[in-house]
Amino acid sequence: MAKRKEETPPAGSPAWMATFSDLMNLLLCFFVMLFAMSSIEEAKLQEFVAAMNNTFSVFDGGASAIGDGFLISNGVSQLNELDQYINSTGKVADSETDGEDFEEYEMSPEAMEEILTDKMLAENEERVEQIEEALSENDIADEVELSFTAQYVKLTMNGGLLFDSGSALLKDDAKLIIDKVGLILERYGNGGIIEIEGHTDNVPMHSAQYPSNEELSSARALSVFYYLTETTTLNPLNLKHAGMGERVPIADNSTPEGRSRNRRVEILIYNPSQS
């Protein structure tokens, strides 16, 4: 029987080593490309270094702690000087920080305003949902229109529903509606500023009592103001009234429908955070 001849390995490095070397080269090129594509903003880096240095003395304090610092040079006595060592690295002793808050990260006024606006918008959106439910429960959802911004929630009532043409005296039916609105204001508006605005269309107003739309709109706002102060527990100091005349239309004054919409009374419930 013939003997099997033992095969001798080929000269040079094993085949797997060449494959492994290629893989390492590819990985190296990949990370070099990632590093080249990234960018470091020097200003932000310097700001971070300064913040760490001022707050914790990571760089200055750390250097002094190695060598002549209390922790290394004093040996066993370092435990007795621990408070002094902590102070030397930028951290204030407990006796100096009792009852004080840590300094917060400085935020730009624009960022703070944006956060506050988002918060107020969410609060007013929730308030609108609650008022909508209350209007439905009191069967006046069709008589009161709701809208809101971050600053306020607005209740709009048609002027023809509240007043006769050219008059600022509340109708008897209007008082029933405002009674229910007043209860809603007591529940969801007390604590913040409430402003009552009177609005008219652009048809010129000429009468002995109200010579212009400015006087008529002011008188109508004042009538609602007086009625609410007399029939509710709202704080009069939180109530405001203003006559806007024809200056803020919400519809086209060239049509009867538009003029009817512009003759209105608006009650603005300002978000308490506004102050």
Number of C-beta neighbours around residue 253 at 10 A: 15
The reported pLDDT for the residue numbered 64 is 44
In Å, what is the CA distance from 117 to each residue of 64, 110, 148, 150, 195? 46, 10, 13, 6, 20
The reported pLDDT for the residue numbered 137 is 96
User: Quick check: 168 and 222 in contact, CB under 8 A?
Assistant: yes
User: Quick check: 269 and 188 in contact, CB under 8 A?
Assistant: yes
Which amino acid is residue 238, in one-letter code?
N
User: Quick check: 170 and 117 in contact, CB under 8 A?
Assistant: no
- Residue found under tokens 């008059």: 167
The reported pLDDT for the residue numbered 29 is 82
Q: How far apart are CA 104 and CA 90, in angstroms?
A: 16
Which amino acid is residue 219, in one-letter code?
A
User: What three-state secondary structure class fits 165?
Assistant: coil
User: Quick check: 266 and 154 in contact, CB under 8 A?
Assistant: yes
Q: Which residues of the chain have pLDDT under 70?
A: 1-13, 36-49, 51-105, 275
The reported pLDDT for the residue numbered 11 is 58
pTM: 0.61
